[in-house]
Amino acid sequence: MNKESICCPEFNPEPWNEKEIIWENKKFLSDRVRSFLHIPLNFGSVMKRMVDKIEASNVKCEDMIVLSDEESLWGSNVFVNVSGDVGNGKMTTITGTFYSKVFEGAYKDMGKWKKEMEHYVKSRNKEITKQYFFYTTCPKCAKKYGKNYVVLLAKTN
């Protein structure tokens, strides 16, 4: 594998699988992706724009977390964690207690993963109030590593 051809670090699922995660005002740069039936149409260009802003502001986190809320069939909000404010960027914070679960496979299994996540959270006697999808690598790197990990994060009551 050519190191120059890899833009995403290899993902370690252990720290994320079936964990309780607490975030208090965790900073993210946010943007919006257009979709058609949950299929992103401009994800690559939105990510490039976000990464360029993050790098220009020198606030890139070593453990880059890319979240999507998949709020509608036609678009989703995308969030990238940062270590400080991004000039000329829409900033947001995320706070809450989350249950996380790692899935591996094709994005077409997302519906199945969501149901499994709902069962997992219910087994903890909690209810999901918001859900995020953590895409751990870009499609090119997922192909190179031979694994396409997605972490579902369920904010609970």
Q: What is the pLDDT of residues 50-105, one digit of tens each?
A: 999 999 999 999 888 999 998 888 999 999 999 999 988 999 999 999 999 999 99
The reply to whether 78 falls in a domain is yes
pTM score: 0.89
The pLDDT tens digits for 91-109 are 999 999 999 999 999 888 9
Fill in the amino acid letter for 151: V
Amino acid making up residue 29: L
Residues 6+ apart with CB under 8 A from 91: 27, 28, 29, 30, 82, 85
Contact predicate 46/31, CB 8 Å: yes
Q: Could you tell me if residue 125 is inside a domain?
A: yes
The residue segments making up the domain with residue 76 are 3-7+20-156
Closest CA to 65 of 156, 139, 133: 133
Q: How many structural domains comprise the chain?
A: 1
Q: What angle do CA 7, 143, 1 make, to 5 degrees?
A: 60
Tell me, yes or no, whether 93 lies in a domain: yes
* Domain assignment of residue 89, yes or no: yes
Structural domain includes residue 60: yes
pLDDT at 5 over 70: no
Is 12 a domain residue? Answer: no
Is residue 140 assigned to a domain?
yes
Average pLDDT rounded to a whole number, residues 131-153: 92
Residue 15 domain-assigned? no
